[in-house]
A and B are shown apart, each in its own frame.
Chain A
């Protein structure tokens, strides 16, 4: 519990809070303006909220003091898992709230249906891809600045996916006939991201063993 308190204090939460605020603002704008929200527009808003939340979340692992806290009774991965889990819980809660609100607005104002489950698959795939980028960033910056790689990486991935032509589109309108095909692509994208993520973890472990030799077992 004390470690949790310490990590919450040490983690850079401002980007996550800014991302969350942006996501909530995008979600609440149609609620407050009273506009009729078509499912297509609702999905677009939920996608923007996804990018904002993940964009803030990728900075949660940044640790300016990482190079000075190499030796510790707790492994760095334990601390990172704690931070990541905490950030992920906040992000998941905010994303679910956004999805719930937008789904409700779409349903009540236009009688339409927001495909939340499918957009959740998109969000998870994007989150896994960003996790891979965070791991790369952590390794490149020796644990100090994962967000420098992951946040621009997230933006470039999203922009490239937006720019893809219809035949290979990821971001399509739910009323489009290409929706199913796009969902199939998202699942593949998520799967490939998982593999890349696992490879990055293995590569990171191998490198850390090579650099640090045998782990310190006894401090006395």
Chain B
């Protein structure tokens, strides 16, 4: 009978060759896993949802007037969807041996457990590359829009793909630390809670510790120099988090050595350092630049003269003057020739930029008037950094500028402090002139009115947080009625009866027959009274 003896197996293969063979096998497994990952239902589902959302946003018109530094940031949030799909898929892949009850069989495989973890983390790289390409195309298309202003923030664009990579590494860690399929979805829910919490406190510093640092939606687009977003540090933090998670997962898979301990300690230290550095308060230089841009912007702006009108904007927003010029010309075309002012200026302003809400305040308006006078552009009409009809805030700013300009062209206004008030025929004329100027201003007025559900007057805010014009609601509604007719029909009537229609005492009832429309009596109008 043959006697079996146990004896250690000595390999004749040199260590370096074994290492190389292991590396080749790890890369081969990573290739196989990445292909499986790309076909995983969770990844396919979330990727399809991401693409569908993008296609839909393009199909409904998209953003025709993008601010590129903001568009760069906007690429991050949708990629969280793909990152979540990657998290679920990688987690299930890491647990595959345990789920299929073949963990013991894997012991006989050529690869160590930690090498399989490395392969799983590496398998996410192709998806991160796809995410980077998709984000780049998205921003590239935005940059190609004729109304685009600003500069692409490359690091912001890279953040989304890095988040996808981080999600994969965190999933590998979750799958290694807790060998349960339930852990993945529950950890993902926790990550979701943290993301929602950071979105709810979008002005806090700690939001930089989450995957994506959102900005408060009330903050208008800002020039790059006024933004305080430590994006380079955030990407370093995310990469540190990715490598830390991967290393810890490798340690938990059995790769325990002094070298590994040192590597984990160094990477964790770098990650914590980057995390802490993100939390530093805004530099004094940026704070000073913000204050200057808010109170006295003339010194930092570029100006252009189009058809005798001077437009001044922050350098990154300079091209926006083309849209302002379109609106201005659209309004001026219906003014009687003798009423077109010889000098007219438009200046871009910022006010509520800290995300804590602006207030109706006379201070900025007076300071701005002094700044305009010092720059030789006395009485400049104000305009903000928002434009277009992508959301209510953009629409509000667009019609706000057009209405402020139209109101200025009517002559001196009655006012309550810094807020001018328009009533009767003047309200109808100003709002109609503003809305008919371009397709964007007309849509903006409709958006504004759908947001104003009650009240006897409608406020117009060309700049976020600055309320400059209040218009009688009945006048706005009459203007909306006029908009149903072609501008070529209404415009000449207004030009012919300009003096009568813009006379201060003319009521809506008196103006209506001149324009050929019918209006409700004050009792029938919403609110039962006029705003004047």
Contact = CB atoms under 8 A, between A and B. Distances in A.
Contacts of B57: 165
A26 B190 CA distance: 10
A22 B186 contact: yes
A48 B196 contact: yes
B53 A151 contact: no
A29 B57 CA distance: 36
A26 B185 contact: no
Interface residues of A, number: 30
A20 to B, nearest CB: 11
Contact of A48 (B41, B180, B193): B193
B184 A152 contact: yes
A213 B60 CA distance: 55
B42 A14 contact: no
B360 interface: no
A27 B8 CA distance: 58
B200 interface: yes
Contacts of B50: 163
A155 B53 contact: no
Contacts of B352: none
Contact of B182 (A26, A48, A56, A156): A56
Interface in A163-200: 163-165, 167
B88 interface: yes
B44 to A, nearest CB: 9
Interface stretch (B77-85, B159-167, B461-469, B495-503): B77-85
Nearest to B199: A44
Interface string B186-206: 101110110010001000000
B196 A56 contact: no
A127 B378 CA distance: 64
Interface residues of B, number: 31
A162 B53 CA distance: 11
A154 interface: yes
Contact of A55 (B89, B99, B180, B189): B189
Interface in B197-247: 200
A100 to B, nearest CB: 20
B184 A15 contact: no
B85 A159 contact: yes
Contacts of B184: 151-152
Nearest to B82: A159
Contacts of B42: 152, 155-156
Nearest to A38: B200
Nearest to B89: A152
A160 B99 CA distance: 26
A95 interface: no
A143 to B, nearest CB: 14
A152 B49 contact: no
Given A145-B99, A165-B56, A160 B182 contact: no
A148 interface: yes
Given A26-B193, A48-B192, A155-B88, A160 B200 contact: no
A121 B180 CA distance: 30
Interface of B: 41-42, 45-46, 49-50, 53, 56-57, 60, 78, 81, 84-85, 88-89, 92, 99, 180-182, 184-186, 188-190, 192-193, 196, 200
| Cβ-closest 3 pairs across A and B | A15-B182, A151-B185, A152-B88
Given A15-B186, A145-B99, 4 more contacts: A14-B182, A55-B186, A155-B185, A160-B46
18 contacts: A15-B182, A22-B189, A44-B196, A48-B189, A51-B192, A55-B185, A55-B189, A147-B182, A148-B99, A151-B184, A152-B89, A155-B42, A155-B84, A156-B45, A156-B46, A156-B85, A163-B50, A163-B81
